Amino acid sequence: MLACGAALGAGPLAACSSASTGGSPGAADAGGLDASFDASVDAGPVEAAALDAAPDAGTANDAASEAAVLDCSEAGATPDDLACTGLYADWATRTIAADAVAYTPGLVFWSDGAVKTRWLHLPAGSKIDTTDMDNWIFPVGTKIWKQFALGGQIVETRLIAKDDAGWHYLDYRWSADQTTATRLEDGETQVNGTTYEIPSTLVCVQCHGGRADAVLGVDLLGLGVPGAQGVTLASLTAQGSFTTAPTETTVTVPEDTTKKAAAALGWLHVNCGSSCHNPLGKATATHLYMKLLADQLAPADGGAARVGGLDTYTTAVNVPGNVMPGGATYKRIAPGDAAHSLVPLFALSRDDDAGVLPMPPLVSHIPDTTGEAAVSAWINALGDAGVP
């Protein structure tokens, strides 16, 4: 393996052993891109559009020829350059390392419209501890990168990496000419003149802390529902990458009589429940839980999963809210009345002073109107009875 990829075996963030130069952006290596959550649409057309939008390789190479040679030999445990993290086998050509596997979860977290690309590295021969199928524990040496692009230009690449001391959160800001990506700790607002925000690495734990082992998206739902690409529940099972293999490698989000529940439940799981609204998350004190759990999706009695048996339903539908916007009384989910349901109101809010808390409460500045519409459609279809 060339350049930075050469040091992967030395540790999760080992220094690179070879120098390399900048080159064309890595859009051609994209392994699953998403602009918004849509469980019914294959990611292929989105990927094609993103590839078409990639900067001209000749222009990027011209810029690269003027770039200084990058020496990773002194990178240390927290490299200042993305090129030294092991993602690339060759930085000059933006060739992704063979052991960084591209993937796209079947349920996608909203990131203010940014197009994302992801890669997973698991140490050779290692296993993910799946004793608790809802909270996977990853081996030391695991690395996960997520790249964010706006208008066809890469703006940041985030990395979480696990060593003997635990998880490290790193963020790399790409230059306007796409020739460098250097570490940024304090975050940045109004990126490239937009409302997009690169978060400070200090706030990462506020979302990632909602898991027993920090990782979001690489889990039972993310890799198991239809639409997952690259790394999937089936592929990891076939590779023997789990300590306890799942009994089924395809996960189905249950539907109800409205025929609108699955889309809403999937969106609420990945955007709310997976990180915060679960017993381990920052929002645990609310007792509003929207994470879809293994034993509820596959009941021990062998029966079919029921929407009415999910935490999202039992902790939200017809449950009075604990805030009163404008002094009015709301329910978390009021069957048949999305306009007076707190869950979709929070999802649409981005104004701290509006009396309705923005959800998520940090980084996002543009609501996911498509995802919220799916939630509201389900709520309105429930009717007064709240059909499970």
- Residue 319 neighbours by CB distance under 10 Å: 16
233, 227 contact by CB (below 8 A): no
Please choose, from the candidates 315, 266, 323, 264, the residue with its C-alpha nearest in 3D space to the C-alpha of residue 288. Answer: 315
* Of residues 13 and 374, more confidently modeled: 374
Average pLDDT, the chain: 84
Each residue's pLDDT tens digit, 234-284: 999 999 999 999 999 999 999 999 999 999 999 999 999 999 999 999 999
Q: How far is Cα 64 from Cα 23, in angstroms, rounded to an integer?
A: 5
Each residue's pLDDT tens digit, 15-44: 443 333 333 333 333 333 333 333 333 333
Q: What is the mean pLDDT of residues 351-368?
A: 86
Helices 369-382 and 261-268, packing angle to 10 deg: 130
Q: How far is Cα 227 from Cα 39, in angstroms, rounded to an integer?
A: 7
Q: Would you state the structure tokens that stand for residue 150, as one six-digit string?
A: 């706006």
- CA distances in angstroms from 145 to 148, 315, 339, 373, listed in the order given: 10, 33, 38, 30
Determine whether 333 is exposed, middle or buried from the number of CB atoms within 10 Å of its CB (0-12, 13-18, 19+): buried
Residue 175 above 70 pLDDT?
yes
Whether omega for the bond prior to residue 360 falls within 30 degrees of 0, making it cis, is: yes
- What's the whole-model pTM score? 0.82
- CA distances in angstroms from 243 to 23, 128, 129, 130, 137, listed in the order given: 40, 6, 5, 6, 10
Each residue's pLDDT tens digit, 117-142: 999 999 999 999 999 999 999 999 99
